[in-house]
């Protein structure tokens, strides 16, 4: 039986790319600089706790596969992780640390579906139903990808946004464990 550790994630500004400055400015305009500082500190604390929780599992990292929300199957996965870690993404810093210790990063998402989502976000035709259908298609692809790449005696770690329902599409041969810091 394969084991999958599911880590629900909160996305950081570093992962937002070119829209990050606009997001930060809008947040500060609405809630103020103090709330932005508090939110940033809270996100850092959550990620430190996730790292501690993963370290406490004492995983045999050469037998661990890493799966990441929005990481396309592209042959450049390690480079993408390193670039986002260098930009300050706590999620990607954890991935990079695990990779350096022997874990293997695996392209997780369909590039075509990620492009479809980006286009939908930009579209005036966007509806909740279309967004939900696209999210479900992404989740099915991710589950299939995990099933195809995670061996029977291996452990996977899936870092995935909270709206996803990947685990509902996984086969029974994959035992899922959720680790999540306590709600604040």
The model's pTM: 0.90
Separation of alpha carbons 160 and 109, rounded Å = 11
C-alpha to C-alpha distances, 102 to 48, 82, 98, 126, 162, nearest whole angstrom: 20, 15, 6, 41, 27
Residue 153 falls within a domain, yes or no? yes
Q: What is the total count of domains within the chain?
A: 1
Residue 183 falls within a domain, yes or no? no
**Of 143, 182, 179, 183, which Cα lies nearest the Cα of 7?**
179
Label residues 56-81 b or e (16+ Cβ within 10 Å = b): eeebebeebbbbbbbbbbeeebeebb
For position 118, what pLDDT does the model report? 87
List pLDDT tens digits, range 105-122. Answer: 999 999 999 999 888 888
Domain span at residue 57 reads 2-178
CB contact set of 127 (below 8 Å; sequence gap of 6+): none
List pLDDT tens digits, range 72-95. Answer: 999 999 999 999 999 888 999 999
Residue 117 falls within a domain, yes or no? yes
Residue 148 falls within a domain, yes or no? yes
């Amino acid at each position: 039986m394969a084991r999958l550790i599911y880590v629900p994630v909160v996305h950081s500004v570093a992962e937002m790319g070119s829209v990050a400055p606009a997001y930060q400015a809008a947040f500060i305009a609405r809630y103020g600089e103090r709330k932005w500082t508090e939110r940033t500190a809270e996100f850092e604390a959550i990620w430190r706790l996730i790292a501690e929780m993963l370290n406490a599992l004492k995983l045999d990292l050469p037998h661990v596969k890493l799966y990441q929300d929005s990481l396309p199957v592209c042959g450049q996965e390690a480079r993408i992780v390193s670039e986002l870690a260098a930009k300050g993404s706590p999620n990607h810093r954890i991935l990079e640390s695990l990779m350096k210790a022997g874990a293997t990063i695996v392209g997780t998402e369909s590039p075509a579906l990620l492009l479809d989502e980006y286009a939908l976000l930009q579209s005036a035709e966007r509806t909740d139903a279309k967004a939900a259908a696209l999210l479900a298609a992404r989740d099915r692809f991710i589950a299939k990808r995990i099933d195809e790449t995670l061996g029977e005696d291996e452990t996977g770690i899936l870092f995935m946004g909270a709206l996803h329902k990947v685990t509902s599409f996984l086969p029974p041969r994959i035992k899922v464990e959720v680790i999540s810091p306590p709600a604040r």
